[in-house]
Amino acid sequence: MPGELASDHAKLETDCENCHNSFDQSGQSVLCLDCHKTVAADVKAKTGFHGRSSEVQALACSTCHNDHQGRDFTLIQLDPETFDHAVTDFPLVGGHVGVECSSCHLPGKKFAEAPSDCAACHKESDPHKGALGPRCGDCHTGTRWQDVRDFDHSKTRFALDGKHVGLVCDACHDAQVWKGLPLTCEGCHLIDDAHDDRFPACGKCHDTKAWKESRFDHDKDSKFALTGAHAKTDCKDCHKPGEAADKAPSSCAGCHAEDDVHRAALGTDCATCHGTAAWDGDVVFDHDLTRLPLLGLHAVVPCESCHSSKDFAAAEPACDTCHAADDAHKTALGADCGSCHTPNGWAFWQFDHDLETDFALTGGHKGLACDACHAPDTVASKLSSDCATCHRLDDVHKGSFGDRCESCHTTSDFKQAKLKLKASP
């Protein structure tokens, strides 16, 4: 034996065939790889230093790892100053160039056992505290930690667009928190919410271009189209603080109860009469649908002439409600003025005495003034139809023939009489 084997091979020293094939020097490397299976795997897979270096693959193992030099001989004769790290699985680039070998290759460990993942060496300097996992190279380059690759945020659950593009990471990922962050607008912008969280789905109105721009169309996106004065109304006038958007009232009374001069006497459907342009100048009401259609002179009378209060329904439709002071008959003919008069004027009246009473006007009765028979303060229906009621002073018989003047006289002339004489026996 030319010399003792190195301490790592000392147990093989008892049998030369552990490392040598008789008369076949080229087969020695095969035996080396049979023992050093990790190296054999690298050679086969073309990984690691032994698999990547074309120079090593062309040489026998003993070229670099010569033995029989004694127990203290170092089998690995590697010169750190000239070693080409580019033929390993971890080429040195950027900030790794010039780093002392001992920074990664610890004493007592094989060179191949040095870790190649970032976290193994930089765990203590990881500002993310491991929250993003060990694959630092997905974002960082090997030059320095501050150099970050263009991260494709679209591959996450929150694609960056609009004003979000170009933001520094810390703007959303405070304290290096990268997972479990909110994906909703209010998750980050609650402090910027001018609506005080009354409209939780910001995306329905706003986009990422700007907060102040809104694409919400109240006419199309709600059940309450803004017309007239509503179109210029501030949102908070209807949507009160702390109230959900869909809880805002849609009835007139819901917002305008304090403005209701009728004090709810006409109900809550203000739109029956009022439009949205203005309370006073946008009123439409069909009085013909009430108990008193407006005919004749009534059509041009101001509302307040009949409606002394805003409780319009309280006004009675009877004529004497408004015209008691104008009643020339002093209620003698009752309260139904419409029996004779029309709304076109008091002077226009029509009464058919023949049809509407039990006393037809014939003969001399025709054309008489009403007060010729109907004295003031006399109720018309209480006037007797007996001739004597009006003609007692004209009775030349002084009542000797009774009150039934019509037995002999007609209404044409008192002087003419029709006598019915009994026949002689």
Residue 229 CA to residue 249 CA, distance in Å, equals 16
Distance of CA 403 to the CA centre of its chain: 90
Run of H or E residues at 27: none
Digitized pLDDT (tens) for each residue of the chain, 425 residues in all: 889 999 999 999 999 999 998 878 878 899 999 999 999 999 999 999 999 998 888 899 988 898 999 999 988 888 888 889 999 999 998 888 888 998 888 888 888 889 888 888 888 888 887 778 888 888 888 888 777 777 888 888 999 998 898 888 888 888 778 888 888 888 888 888 877 777 777 888 888 887 777 778 888 888 889 998 898 888 888 887 777 777 888 888 888 888 888 888 788 888 888 888 888 777 888 888 888 999 999 988 888 888 888 888 888 888 888 888 888 888 877 888 888 888 998 888 888 888 888 889 999 899 888 888 887 767 777 788 888 888 888 888 888 888 888 888 888 888 888 776 655 55
- 320's CB contacts (< 8 A; 6+ apart) are 327, 331, 335, 337
Q: Are 320 and 309 in contact (CB under 8 A)?
A: no
DSSP tag of 312 = G
